[in-house]
Amino acid sequence: MAYENIYFIGIGGIGMSAGARYFKAKGCKVSGYDKTPSELTEQLRQEGIDVHYEDDVTRIPADKEKTLVVYTPAVPADLQELQKVQREGYRLVKRSRMLGEIAATMHCLAVSGTHGKTTTSTLLAHIFTEGGAGCNAFLGGISKNYDTNLLISDNDVIVAEADEFDRSFLQLFPDIAVITAMDADHLDIYGDLAHVQEAFKAFASQTRDYVIAKYGLDITSADTKARILHYSYDDSRADFYATDLRKDECGYFDFTLVHPGGRIEGCRVGVPGWVNVENAVAASAVALCYGVKEEDIRKALLSFRGVKRRFDIHVNRPGLAYVDDYAHHPNEIAAAMRSIRDIFPGRKLTAIFQPHLYTRTRDFAPEFAKALSGADKVILLDIYPAREEPIPGVTSDIIFDRLTCPQKTLIRKEELMDTLEKEELDVLVSFGAGNIDRYIVPITRMLESR
**Residue 377 host element (H or E):** strand 377-380
Question: Is the pLDDT confidence value at 13 over 60?
Answer: yes
Tell me how far apart the alpha carbons of residues 197 and 183 are, in angstroms, rounded to a whole number. Answer: 8
Helices (runs of H) and strands (runs of E) counted in the chain: 14, 21
Is the domain of 113 the same as that of 38?
A: no
Tell me how far apart the alpha carbons of residues 406 and 374 are, in angstroms, rounded to a whole number. Answer: 10
Tell me how far apart the alpha carbons of residues 168 and 180 are, in angstroms, rounded to a whole number. Answer: 16
Question: Is the pLDDT confidence value at 1 over 80?
Answer: no
The stretch 302-321 carries a mean pLDDT of 94
Is the domain of 202 the same as that of 327?
A: no
Tell me how far apart the alpha carbons of residues 10 and 12 are, in angstroms, rounded to a whole number. Answer: 6
Residue 350 near residue 427, CB atoms below 8 Å: yes
- 94-123 pLDDT tens trace: 999 999 999 999 999 999 999 899 999 999
> 241, 269, 303: which is the final residue of a domain?
303
Is the domain of 173 the same as that of 127?
A: yes
Tell me the percentage of the chain whose pLDDT exceeds 70: 100
* Cα separation values, 200 from 170, 218, 223, 331, Å: 9, 10, 9, 18
**Residue 421 host element (H or E):** helix 416-421
Amino acid 376 reads D
Question: Is the pLDDT confidence value at 132 over 70?
Answer: yes
Residue 154 near residue 97, CB atoms below 8 Å: no
Tell me how far apart the alpha carbons of residues 198 and 190 are, in angstroms, rounded to a whole number. Answer: 10
- Does residue 405 fall inside a structural domain? yes
- 201-238 pLDDT tens trace: 999 999 999 999 999 999 999 999 999 999 999 999 99
Is the domain of 152 the same as that of 275?
A: yes
Say which range, 47-61, 202-216, 292-306, 330-344, has the weakest mean pLDDT.
Answer: 330-344
- Whole-number mean pLDDT of the chain? 96
Is the domain of 60 the same as that of 111?
A: no
**Residue 284 host element (H or E):** helix 274-290
- 25-68 pLDDT tens trace: 999 999 999 998 998 999 999 999 999 999 999 999 999 999 99
Amino acid 164 reads E
> Looking at residue 322, what is its pLDDT?
97
Helix (H, G, I), strand (E, B) or coil at 435: helix
* Cα separation values, 124 from 130, 280, 281, 334, 381, Å: 10, 8, 10, 24, 34
The stretch 268-278 carries a mean pLDDT of 94
Please report, for the domain that includes residue 86, its CATH number: 3.40.50.720
> Looking at residue 166, what is its pLDDT?
86
Tell me how far apart the alpha carbons of residues 248 and 253 are, in angstroms, rounded to a whole number. Answer: 7
Which backbone phi and psi does 221 adopt, to 5 degrees?
-65, -15
- Does residue 251 fall inside a structural domain? yes
Is the domain of 298 the same as that of 326?
A: no
Enumerate the H helices of 131-246 as residue ranges.
187-190, 193-205
The stretch 288-302 carries a mean pLDDT of 98
Is the domain of 236 the same as that of 371?
A: no
> Looking at residue 250, what is its pLDDT?
83
- Does residue 86 fall inside a structural domain? yes
User: How crowded is residue 143: how many other Cβ atoms within 10 Å of its Cβ?
Assistant: 25
Apex 335 CA angle, 130 and 396, nearest 5: 120
Q: Which domain holds residue 272?
A: 104-303
- Does residue 73 fall inside a structural domain? yes
Domain count, the chain: 3
Handedness of CA 225, 226, 229, 230 (dihedral sign): negative
Is the domain of 82 the same as that of 181?
A: no
> Looking at residue 386, what is its pLDDT?
86
Apex 265 CA angle, 264 and 269, nearest 5: 90
- 313-322 pLDDT tens trace: 999 998 999 9
Whole-number CA gyration radius for the chain: 22
The stretch 291-304 carries a mean pLDDT of 98
> 263, 278, 303: which is the final residue of a domain?
303
Is the domain of 260 the same as that of 124?
A: yes
Please report, for the domain that includes residue 379, its CATH number: 3.90.190.20
